[in-house]
Structure 1
Amino acid sequence: MAQYEVVIGLEVHAQLKTKSKLFCACSTEFGNEPNENVCPVCSGMPGVLPVMNEKVLEYAVKLGQAVHCEINRKSVFARKNYFYPDLPKGYQTSQFDLPICEHGRIEIDTPKGRKTIGVTRIHMEEDAGKSIHSASENVSFVDLNRACVPLLEIVSEPDMRSAEEAVAYLKSLHSILRYLDICDGNMEQGSFRCDANVSIRPKGQETLGTRAELKNMNSFRHVQKAIEYEVQRQIDLVEDGEAVVQETRLYNADKGTTHSMRGKEEAHDYRYFPCPDLVPMVLEEAWIEKWASELPELPEARRARFVGQYDLPEEAADQLTAERETADFFEAAANAFDGEAKKIANWLMVDVARLLNDTGLTLAACKGAPEDLAALVALVEGSTVSARSAKDILADVLRDGADPKALVKEKGLAQESDSGALEAVVDEVIAENPAEAERVRGGDKKVVGFLMGQIMKKTQGKANPGVVGKMLAQKLS
């Protein structure tokens, strides 16, 4: 593989979080009964006319501004003509030669440092319906709930040179969309889906190789695995003296392979022409300025601020700012905590992350507030409760919104820091373990852990480790 260069470009479809569809008032709610969210417009009935959803235009411009695109003051909808049972009009209303946004960029991190990936274009289009195939009944059904749901298609330049770079680009774009709150980013439900154009060429060659388009990848992991498989497949073909065929291929997640679906279409195959039912959109400068002023602080800027303001390592800032809800939660908790923000960051990245992963919850679904986490960490830092006990009640605090102070009192988890009471226990453990005590006096510090364990056992884990450690050091010095 060393003599080949991988060339990857991505086409991402992001479903927008609008309440109604692109050209009609039908609901975009996911999971409704088949064909419940349908009207004459989105079902393609003759004689009906589309009406543009202004929110879609706003979202498209905001994404363009977030990724440094040129915003075209005039853009045009076009008809993309092809036949498929779930496309009731026989064409898809999209954009072609006059899209809403062009010539942007997204920054990603690579092992060699920061890299800029070009964004060729962002355009608005309607989604198609969904075909449902029943092998047992030997019939197919069509659900048009998704027909006319608004999408943004984000087309990258072929600037990525590995599957890892492609995933990094996708994660960066996914994060930006979530920060803007214009797409929920759910890959399993198809709200954020990706097609990858993959080719190889000998290193040093400028001409692009023949590309294959990969579809049916509904997770970041699947994107990486599909690209890696496809790259090796193309290398094997070339080294066997065979030609790579330009085609569309589907990824089989169960087998980890790609297989041919159809020949790859070119733009002329779709016979694009301006949609006669929709006038060109001409943007006013006041709209563009207003939407720009409403942009939130985006992941890249927030990451830099977290490093400077909270003195976080870059890796921690990356992890905390990847999702807006995590960044918001951290910042609120850090501001409520009278101590180093790193303490909050560590709890969020390790213990809270583990809890969410084990329970399948999200921070948004938790009843606990950021201030509750700050209060729990403060109890640990103030030696009121041990870190182990705090981790035991973390689920109650976050999931159920329980008051950490009341919970510590109710469960009797407060640490014992009274030197008089602890001294008696320490003396007792030393008396019961004379051999181990002598080893510590002789310089074997490893045995201190054993003695600490015995003390914790006698106090049911309530002894303050700091106080106990000092006592042992004094008595066995």
Structure 2
Amino acid sequence: MEFTPVIGLEVHAQLKTKTKIFCSCSTAFGAPPNTHTCPVCLGMPGVLPVLNKKVVDYTIKMALATNCTVQPESRFARKNYFYPDLPKGYQISQYELPIATGGYLDIETGGQTQRIGITRIHMEEDAGKLIHDPDRPISRVDLNRTGTPLMEIVSEPDIRSPEVAGEYLRQLRTILRYLDISDGNMEEGSFRCDANVSIMPLGSTTFGTRTEVKNLNSFKHVEKALYYEIARQKELLLDGGQVVQETRLWQPDKGQTVSMRGKEDAHDYRYFPDPDLLPLVIDDAWIERMRSDMPELPAQRKARYISDYELPSADATVLTGSRELSDYFEACLSAFDQPKTVANWIMGDLLGLLNAKGLDIDQSPVSPDDLAGLLKLLGDDVISGKIAKTVFETMAETGKSAKVIVEEKGLVQVSDTSAIDPIVDAIIADHPDEVGRYRGGQKKLMGFFVGQVMKATKGKANPKVVNEILRNKLG
């Protein structure tokens, strides 16, 4: 019996504000435990929360970027549950009246485009963090994170494979980073995901019982956990069992999900409007201010690269994978206007170098202007392609410009036929067998002769001139 997976994702993105959502405590990561707290975020009696306007600004931008409708009025609610890292005994969130609804993202996987609906986007405060002692039965609580502003993005159950789920998450994270409203750092917990998973018989439209999978802190773990959970539910149903609605924990070291607790429904949290916070009213002027302040988004940039620069879709996808990489590409292009050449060098040599060194694009040892300078020398036939690779490596090691390196090492390409002619003559004389075979029809040997000339000239000979001389002399 075949089954179809049904996946919906709940993404929590920590917003890039300096202070918390309802107080002025710092949101900086890594401070000593319980030092970024105050009576408001600790829920002391008599305190009143005050909404951080920047949190609303950022959420409106994300709503616009994901084709959501920003609601003219939304409300904060209290989500009631008791846990040691929740000092108030409730979390301020949004429930019946979220700030944005009814959006979507178009995802490309396997050459096909799929639209993933977005049910809602809402704002809420984060809880604290429990730290479990590995040696003793003790847990400590750090409330620095309590009150940190979160944006929750809830998808429709439109996802049908782990690969699409992974791509959806990557696109969401890229948009957040383009907007500069979240750093999207999964390791620090500023981009977190919970997955709701069920399966239904192939051809059915009735969803099965879902489980919620938590502790998904990387794209790889999300896909692996979804594969495991889908397979687990299939095996369970085929053996005549029943899927139980529950929350499960992904254990990456064991490659499996394990049961945590029964899955709560909304009524279990006893939501009610927060009496300390007024309804949030957003007018058209506020929305338009946020729209005018938005950068070009990755999908728009990709379409422009394809139409204006005539880049292949695959190239445009890589180059728009991060705002920093796109900015690097465009900065280089402004100094050397050959899009495909620039794209090839960035995707090949530059990204290869950065990956090998474990660096991000904004840490590149070769600046856009310096890369453009190298490509100008190559385009003007001052250096050969082989020499350009060597020069690039030296640029990365020394920080020097291509022009300086070429002058210091005497790497200027030789295009003078009077200098190349005798070298070609000597190589032809030294390889009579290859000459005979070439003239007998084995034209692929041209590469052999070119290679010999380049070796003899230490890569300095102009390959175009070398090819022309060889063709004339070999006939």
SS of residue in 2 equivalent to 1:454: helix
Cα distance in structure 2, aligned partners of 1:399 and 1:360: 15
Quote the residue 2:51 is aligned against. 52
Quote the residue 1:303 is aligned against. 302
SS of residue in 2 equivalent to 1:446: helix
CA RMSD of aligned residues (A): 1.7
Letter in 2 for 1:68: N
Cα distance in structure 2, aligned partners of 1:464 and 1:349: 25
CA contact (8 A) 1:332 1:370 kept: yes
Quote the residue 2:94 is aligned against. 95
Structure 1 residues 126-137: aligned runs within 5 Å? 126-137=125-136
Letter in 2 for 1:347: W
SS of residue in 1 equivalent to 2:342: helix
Cα distance in structure 1, aligned partners of 2:307 and 2:211: 43
Quote the residue 1:447 is aligned against. 445
1:342 to 333, 340, 343: 340
Asked whether 1:241 is paired with 2:240, we answer: yes
Asked whether 1:331 is paired with 2:305, we answer: no
**CA deviation string 1:271-317 (max 9, x = no partner):** 11111221111123221121111121111121111111101111211
Quote the residue 2:427 is aligned against. 429
CA contact (8 A) 2:197 2:230 kept: yes
Cα distance in structure 2, aligned partners of 1:395 and 1:37: 45
**CA deviation string 1:181-215 (max 9, x = no partner):** 11111112111111111110012222210111111
Structure 1 unaligned segments of length 5 or more: list them: none
Following TM superposition, by how much is the alpha carbon of 1:54 offset from its aligned partner in structure 2, in angstroms? 0.5
Structure 1 residues 398-413: aligned runs within 5 Å? 401-413=399-411
Cα distance in structure 2, aligned partners of 1:228 and 1:143: 33
Cα distance in structure 1, aligned partners of 2:38 and 2:412: 62
Asked whether 1:383 is paired with 2:381, we answer: yes
Letter in 2 for 1:351: D
SS of residue in 1 equivalent to 2:389: helix
**CA deviation string 1:115-164 (max 9, x = no partner):** 21110000001111111111123322111221111110000000111111
1:420 to 400, 410, 418: 418
Following TM superposition, by how much is the alpha carbon of 1:396 offset from its aligned partner in structure 2, in angstroms? 5.0
Q: Check 1:420–1:311 CA distance in 2 against 1; reply closer, same or farther (3 A cut).
A: same
2:362 to 348, 361, 364: 364
Cα distance in structure 2, aligned partners of 1:346 and 1:139: 54
Q: Check 1:214–1:280 CA distance in 2 against 1; reply closer, same or farther (3 A cut).
A: same
Cα distance in structure 1, aligned partners of 2:398 and 2:81: 51
Letter in 1 for 2:410: G
Letter in 2 for 1:473: R
Cα distance in structure 2, aligned partners of 1:399 and 1:192: 34
Identical-residue share of aligned pairs (%): 56
Cα distance in structure 2, aligned partners of 1:465 and 1:35: 66
SS of residue in 1 equivalent to 2:107: strand
Quote the residue 1:460 is aligned against. 458
Cα distance in structure 2, aligned partners of 1:39 and 1:409: 62
Q: Check 1:391–1:193 CA distance in 2 against 1; reply closer, same or farther (3 A cut).
A: farther
Letter in 1 for 2:162: A
Q: Check 1:452–1:194 CA distance in 2 against 1; reply closer, same or farther (3 A cut).
A: same
Letter in 2 for 1:370: P
Letter in 1 for 2:119: T
Letter in 2 for 1:323: S
Higher alpha-carbon deviation: 58-67 or 402-411: 402-411
CA contact (8 A) 1:366 1:401 kept: no
Structure 1 residues 170-189: aligned runs within 5 Å? 170-189=169-188
Letter in 2 for 1:372: D
Structure 2 unaligned segments of length 5 or more: list them: none
Structure 1 residues 187-266: aligned runs within 5 Å? 187-266=186-265
SS of residue in 2 equivalent to 1:389: helix
> Could you state the TM-score of these two structures normalised by the residue count of structure 1?
0.95
Give the paired residue count: 475
Cα distance in structure 2, aligned partners of 1:399 and 1:131: 44
Following TM superposition, by how much is the alpha carbon of 1:400 offset from its aligned partner in structure 2, in angstroms? 6.4
Letter in 1 for 2:164: E
SS of residue in 2 equivalent to 1:260: strand
1:394 to 388, 392, 395: 392
Following TM superposition, by how much is the alpha carbon of 1:451 offset from its aligned partner in structure 2, in angstroms? 2.6
Q: Check 1:269–1:400 CA distance in 2 against 1; reply closer, same or farther (3 A cut).
A: farther
Higher alpha-carbon deviation: 452-461 or 231-240: 452-461
Cα distance in structure 2, aligned partners of 1:275 and 1:390: 64
CA contact (8 A) 1:212 1:246 kept: yes
Letter in 2 for 1:349: M
Following TM superposition, by how much is the alpha carbon of 1:94 offset from its aligned partner in structure 2, in angstroms? 0.7
Following TM superposition, by how much is the alpha carbon of 1:399 offset from its aligned partner in structure 2, in angstroms? 7.5
Quote the residue 2:68 is aligned against. 69
Cα distance in structure 2, aligned partners of 1:81 and 1:344: 55
Higher alpha-carbon deviation: 202-211 or 404-413: 404-413
Letter in 1 for 2:283: E
CA contact (8 A) 2:124 2:151 kept: yes
